[in-house]
Amino acid sequence: MNKFFDAHTHAHFAAFKEDYRDAIRRALAAGVGLVNVGTQKDTSRRAVEVAHEFENEPVYAAIGLHPIHTSKSHHDENELGGGDSAKAFTSRGEEFEYEYYKKLALDPKTVAIGECGLDYFHMEGDVGKLKRRQKEALLGQIKLAHDVEKPLMIHCRDAFDDLIEMLTTNHQILNTIPGIIHFFTGTKDDAKKLLDLGFRFTFGGTVTYPPKAGMPDYAALVRFLPLDRILSETDAPYVAPVPYRGKRNEPAYVVETVKKLAEIKGIPADEMAEATVANAARIFHI
C-alpha cells in the first residue's frame, strides 16, 4: 500500500511528454499513488492509457471535460503541447459527448469523472452563452457519475454560487460520496455548504505558500475541515509546493504538501499521510 496519495495530477500532460514514465516511477518509489486527470477527449483517453501502462500499480485515471474546454479561447502548451495541430485541435471548443466519456468511465482504472465544473475566470465573448455551455457539460458529467457510480472531480473558479446551486438541485442523483472539490478556492461558507452535500476537498502546493491578499486563507480552511474530508494533490505540472515553487511540479512532491497540511492541522505528518491515503481509498474505491 502506498504511503501518500496525489488525488489530482496531470503527469500525462504535454509538460511530461519526454519523461512521464520517469516522473510516475519517482512518485511510486516515494510511496505516492496518483490519479491522472483528463480535461477533454484527448487527455482523458491518455489518462486511461497511462493508468494501464502501470497496470498493477496505484496509478489511476479521471476522465472528463474541463469547463474551459467547452469554449474556444483556451490553449495551454503545458497541457496539450505546442504547434499548429495542437492548437487547431483545441480551438474548437468541445461539447460533452456522453457516449465517448462513458466508455472511458467504465474502465476499471478510471476512479472519477472530471475534471468538470464551472470556471468564470477565463471568459471572453458572450458570457451568458459560455456559462450555459459550461453548465450543460457539468450536468452531463453529473449524470455520468451517477450512471457509472463514480465520484465527481470538480474544478470551480469564481463560480461557487452557481456550482452549489447546481449540485443542490441535482442532489438526488449525486452518489453517497458525491466527489471532490479540487484546489478549493471558495469561502468558509461555500465549504460548509459543500460539506453538507458530502463533498471532500483536495489541497495542493498553494498551502505551502505564504498567505497573500486576494487568496483564500488556506490554513483556516484546513483547520476548519474535518480530517476525513481532506485529500492531498499536486495538480502537476502547475503550482509546485515549497521548496520546488517555480519549477515544474510532479506527483512525488505531494509529500511536501502533506507535511504542511499536518503542520497546519497540528498532527504528526504520518497521521496526515495516513488520513489522506485512507480518504482517497474510500472515495475512489481502491
Q: Does 119 bind Zn ion (CB under 5 A)?
A: no
Q: How far apart are CA 242 and CA 260, in angstroms?
A: 10
User: Which of 6, 235 has the CB closer to Zn ion?
Assistant: 235
Q: How far apart are CA 57 and CA 2, in angstroms?
A: 9
User: Which of 235, 250 has the CB closer to Zn ion?
Assistant: 235
Looking at 136-144, 162-170, 233-241, 253-261, which segment touches Zn ion (CB under 5 A)?
233-241
User: Which of 94, 235 has the CB closer to Zn ion?
Assistant: 235
User: Which of 13, 96 has the CB closer to Zn ion?
Assistant: 13
Question: Least distance to Zn ion from the beta carbon of 158, Å?
Answer: 16
* Full 3-state SS string of 267-284: CCHHHHHHHHHHHHHHHH
DSSP 211: P
Q: For the chain, where are the E strands, in sequence order?
A: 4-9, 32-37, 59-63, 110-119, 152-157, 179-182, 200-203, 230-232
Question: Least distance to Zn ion from the beta carbon of 25, Å?
Answer: 21
Work out the number of other CB atoms within 10 angstroms of the CB of residue 250.
26
Size of the site for Zn ion (CB under 5 A): 1
The residues pairing with 188 across neighbouring beta strands, listed in sequence order, are none
Work out the number of other CB atoms within 10 angstroms of the CB of residue 125.
10
The residues pairing with 156 across neighbouring beta strands, listed in sequence order, are 118
Looking at 16-24, 92-100, 158-166, 228-236, which segment touches Zn ion (CB under 5 A)?
228-236
**C-alpha cell, 78:** 503545458
Q: How far apart are CA 67 and CA 182, in angstroms?
A: 13
Question: Least distance to Zn ion from the beta carbon of 241, Å?
Answer: 15
Looking at 105-113, 194-202, 205-213, 235-243, which segment touches Zn ion (CB under 5 A)?
235-243
Do 245 and 209 form a contact (C-beta atoms < 8 A)? Answer: yes
User: Which of 235, 256 has the CB closer to Zn ion?
Assistant: 235
Q: Which of 79, 94, 119, 235 binds Zn ion (CB under 5 A)?
A: 235
User: Which of 150, 262 has the CB closer to Zn ion?
Assistant: 150
User: Which of 145, 236 has the CB closer to Zn ion?
Assistant: 236
Q: How far apart are CA 267 and CA 75, in angstroms?
A: 41
Instruction: Show the binding pattern over residues 139-158: x = contacts Zn ion (CB under 5 A), - = does not.
Output: --------------------
Question: Least distance to Zn ion from the beta carbon of 205, Å?
Answer: 12
Question: Least distance to Zn ion from the beta carbon of 268, Å?
Answer: 29
Binding site for Zn ion (CB under 5 A): 235
